[in-house]
Amino acid sequence: MANPSPRRTLPLLMSPHKSGRSALTCEFRCGNACAHDVSNTSDNAYFGDVVASALSRRGVLRAGALGALAAGAGAAGVAGAVPAAAEPAPEARSGGRGNHGGRGGLRFAAVAPNREDRIVVPEGYTSAAVVRWGDPVLPDAPAFDFENQTAEAQAKQFGYNCDFVTFFPMGGHRGLLWVNHEYSDEALMFRGYAGGTAATEEQLRIGLAAHGGSVVEIERVGRSGQWRLVTRGRRRYNRRITAQTPMKLTGPAAGHDLLKTAADPTGTTVLGMLNNCAGGTTPWGTVLSGEENFNQYFVLGSGAPEAEKAALKRYGIDTASTTPGGRRFDRVEERFDLSRHPHEANRFGWIVEIDPFDPDSTPVKRTALGRLAHEGATTTLARDGRVVAYMGDDSRFEYVYKFVSKKRYIPGFDRHNRTLLDEGTLYVARLTGDSPAAEIDGTGKLPADGRFDGSGEWIPLVTGNVSHVPGMSAAEVLIHTRLAADKVGATKMDRPEDIERNPVTGGVYLALTNNSNRTPAQVDEANPRPANKHGHVLEIVEQRNDAASTAFAWSLPLVCGDPNDASTYFAGFDKTKVSPISCPDNVAFDRDGNLWISTDGNALGSNDGLFVMPVAGRERGYLRQFLTVPIGAETCGPMVTQDQRSVFVAVQHPGEVNGASPEAPASHWPDGGTSQPRPSVAVAWHTRGEKIGS
């Protein structure tokens, strides 16, 4: 029976989440993950066991890392130290000349922390929404009408809660924007929403249609850095992908019994993608989109076969409750009921490749990249031209992965390149600190050697059809990747999210958002604070600066929080000059190699924002806030265009604060007045057309 109070039907208001994230976000984004037990109950050490072999290896790795540093490719990278095969992301391929190696040269007055219901940018800049939830994507889409939503309309309109954003210039003043739609927040989308059990079937279908992704054509406004949605003409590339779009499963696990269902006895086709969070692009111009908290969409895991429950549980799926909760999409599509279709959940949690330039193409779930709560996948090239994809598994105490293709990328050979992500080696990271454990005391105080740092190794899990994990076949390793990684002693991290390689220095940067569950006994040099509220950033320098290496050096250039908090660290930069930062989530680089960081769940009491920090030179660690997003929103994207005149951000879940509803919206962004908040992609630019940040 429906609860009379819509608010009270949602367990969200008691969320134990310790960041600034609202209870609504916890409920709809990740199914209250923080309220549940940690899924990783493996006894992996919080650093892989510091066994003798690792200790002896450390000296070798350290020497290798120092070699890389001496070559100017590492933490203190020198201008011009471009890796042999620097990342040719589509956006980065179109022109551009010299750079500063992430050395800074950024000149703008940092935006102060605030609680304003607008995008706040530095003096001299302005911003505008580019495309909003409900805006027509397909030419025959109706105009958005909050009060009269339909699933049919939503499937043609811009979806909800935009996350990953990437931009493909098309020459002239046009370009394509790809945007992930991570999740629906029915409590803000519908008046009087009373929870999944009481939702109308049309509301459920609208929710499914609000997921997925969008391709939209955009155009430059005059000669400025502003871009706007193209609203006329054929818009031949525009596309909506939803939770029902037919997709293929390819790679070594495709066709495995664990992927077969009544609707798909071949285990090779699946409808839709779910909870697509961050992502990346490939050198051949496609999008890689990560299915993250897919577990929350499935109900009645209690009715799944006993033999499969351990794996379901390892992915955060409830296998005990006999009372379905959450959105209840099973009410309109029974495949979400695991008691009837226990393998359906195995068909989510993949990296999905989408060709934004072919609206008729079938998106592909690449099983060779493993099944996780994929934050995203970002690519680079190894020295020999093989494709490397870095990936985080965004849950507390989960792991960091990379995939190295078997074959090399061949520029222009599209048919070949599109097979590269189907065969290769999947690795998981094990990190070791180089300071005595006693010096990592949980206060954030740097150890005697002055750095949280050490060495690491990429442990192979599977190569093509050959498993490296005892007791598991190659397909099982790919479908139950978390279980496989548990067995090889991977290092438990503080929510590893977006990870990207610096196209200038070759360093790899990983956002570790937070982990309120880490206990004092569980701190290690790579995750040095217990009850980690504010998160940190990890820098990886691959041996020989080669992305295909199996050894690396690492350090923490950024330990987040209020700079007045003694436990924070900004790469040794003067802390009186930096901006407070909390919960780093997405990372991106501009053409100069500066690190851009967006945040999710500011635990310092102000709105989330976008920050930029040089990673080399005298200004390494000089972190400044470039913009803040409206009340209740998280900053996603971000994307600095190659001409560095525009920065796109996804403003996800504006107004998603405790107690908010359509009757009492907490935000009116972007339309103002008394309007309902609409998740939207925005662009910021300098009013005189100057380079962003300069």
- What residue 261 binds from Ca ion, ligand FEO, none (CB within 5 to 8 A, per partner kind)? none
Closer Cβ to ligand FEO, 226 or 395, answer by number: 395
Count the Cβ atoms, other than its own, within 10 Å of residue 489.
Answer: 18
Q: Which helix (H) or strand (E) holds 309?
A: helix 306-314
Stretch that binds Ca ion, among 256-264, 495-503, 541-549, 648-656 (CB under 5 A): 495-503
Phi-psi region of 187 (alpha: psi -120 to 50; beta: other; left: phi over 0): alpha
- What letter represents residue 379's amino acid? T
Closest to 491 in 3D by CA, of 514, 523, 520: 523
Query: For residues 15 and 66, what is the distance between their CA atoms, to the nearest angstrom?
Result: 45
Closer Cβ to ligand FEO, 186 or 422, answer by number: 186
Closer Cβ to ligand FEO, 497 or 542, answer by number: 497
How many Å separate Cα 504 from the centre of its chain?
Answer: 21
394 binds ligand FEO (CB under 6 A): yes
Torsion over CA of 654, 660, 666 and 668, rounded to 10 degrees?
60
Rule CB under 6 A: which of 221-280 touch ligand FEO? 277
- How many residues at the interface with Ca ion, by CB under 5 A? 11
Closer Cβ to Ca ion, 33 or 588, answer by number: 588
Distances (CA, A) of 660 to 444, 633, 636, 653: 36, 13, 21, 11
Question: What is the smallest separation between the CB atom of 33 and Ca ion, expressed in angstroms?
Answer: 13
- What letter represents residue 408's amino acid? R
- What residue 182 binds from ligand FEO, Ca ion, none (CB within 5 to 8 A, per partner kind)? ligand FEO
292 binds ligand FEO (CB under 6 A): yes
Query: For residues 211 and 199, what is the distance between their CA atoms, to the nearest angstrom?
Result: 17
Rule CB under 6 A: which of 560-589 touch ligand FEO? 585
- What residue 447 binds from Ca ion, ligand FEO, none (CB within 5 to 8 A, per partner kind)? Ca ion
Pairing type for strands 400-408 and 647-652 reads unpaired
Question: Taking CB positions, which residue lies at the least distance from ligand FEO?
Answer: 277
The single residue listed with the structure tokens 């999947």 is: 426
Please say whether the beta carbons of 620 and 573 come within 8 A: yes
Closer Cβ to ligand FEO, 396 or 591, answer by number: 396
27 binds ligand FEO (CB under 6 A): no
Task: Provide CB contacts within 8 A for 371, sequence distance 6+.
Answer: 253, 315, 346, 349, 350, 478, 479, 480, 481
Torsion over CA of 183, 189, 193 and 197, rounded to 10 degrees?
-30
Which listed residue (27, 87, 182, 453) binds ligand FEO by CB under 6 A? 182
447 binds Ca ion (CB under 5 A): yes
Q: Which helix (H) or strand (E) holds 25?
A: helix 23-30
Please say whether the beta carbons of 354 and 286 come within 8 A: yes
435 binds Ca ion (CB under 5 A): yes
Please say whether the beta carbons of 116 and 540 come within 8 A: no
670 upstream amide cis, omega within 30 of 0: yes
Question: Taking CB positions, which residue lies at the least distance from Ca ion?
Answer: 435
585 binds Ca ion (CB under 5 A): yes
Which listed residue (375, 434, 457, 619) binds ligand FEO by CB under 6 A? 375
Count the Cβ atoms, other than its own, within 10 Å of residue 574.
Answer: 10
Q: Which helix (H) or strand (E) holds 146?
A: none
Query: For residues 365 and 375, what is the distance between their CA atoms, to the nearest angstrom?
Result: 15
Residues in contact with Ca ion, shown as a per-residue x/- string from 241 to 280 under the rule CB under 5 A: ------------------------------------x---
619 binds ligand FEO (CB under 6 A): no
Secondary structure in 3-state letters for 168-214: EECCCCEEEEEEEECCCCHHHHCCCCCCCCCCCHHHHHHHHHHCEEE
Closer Cβ to Ca ion, 425 or 586, answer by number: 586
Query: For residues 186 and 194, what is the distance between their CA atoms, to the nearest angstrom?
Result: 9
Stretch that binds Ca ion, among 19-27, 29-37, 128-136, 453-461 (CB under 5 A): 453-461
588 binds Ca ion (CB under 5 A): yes
Question: What is the smallest separation between the CB atom of 518 and Ca ion, expressed in angstroms?
Answer: 18
Token pair in block for residue 633: 């929103």
Closer Cβ to Ca ion, 193 or 350, answer by number: 350
- What residue 588 binds from ligand FEO, Ca ion, none (CB within 5 to 8 A, per partner kind)? Ca ion
Closer Cβ to Ca ion, 288 or 479, answer by number: 288
Question: What is the smallest separation between the CB atom of 12 and ligand FEO, expressed in angstroms?
Answer: 17
- What letter represents residue 442's amino acid? G
Residues in contact with ligand FEO, shown as a per-residue x/- string from 495 to 534 under the rule CB under 6 A: --x-------------------------------------
Question: What is the smallest separation between the CB atom of 129 and ligand FEO, expressed in angstroms?
Answer: 21
91 — phi, psi (to 5°)? -65, -30
- What residue 292 binds from ligand FEO, Ca ion, none (CB within 5 to 8 A, per partner kind)? ligand FEO
- What residue 453 binds from ligand FEO, Ca ion, none (CB within 5 to 8 A, per partner kind)? Ca ion
398 binds ligand FEO (CB under 6 A): no
Pairing type for strands 246-250 and 364-366 reads parallel
Question: What is the smallest separation between the CB atom of 163 and Ca ion, expressed in angstroms?
Answer: 6
Distances (CA, A) of 275 to 284, 376, 677: 25, 11, 20
The single residue listed with the structure tokens 């990346």 is: 280
441 binds Ca ion (CB under 5 A): no
498 binds Ca ion (CB under 5 A): yes
Closer Cβ to Ca ion, 371 or 501, answer by number: 501
Stretch that binds Ca ion, among 154-162, 354-362, 534-542, 578-586 (CB under 5 A): 578-586
Which listed residue (37, 257, 449, 671) binds Ca ion by CB under 5 A? 449
590 binds ligand FEO (CB under 6 A): no
Closest to 195 in 3D by CA, of 669, 674, 661, 664: 661
Question: What is the smallest separation between the CB atom of 277 and ligand FEO, expressed in angstroms?
Answer: 3
295 binds Ca ion (CB under 5 A): no
Closer Cβ to ligand FEO, 330 or 394, answer by number: 394
Query: For residues 62 and 57, what is the distance between their CA atoms, to the nearest angstrom?
Result: 9
What residues make contact with Ca ion under the rule CB under 5 A?
277, 434-435, 447, 449, 451, 453, 498, 585-586, 588
What residues make contact with ligand FEO under the rule CB under 6 A?
182, 277, 292, 375, 394, 497, 585
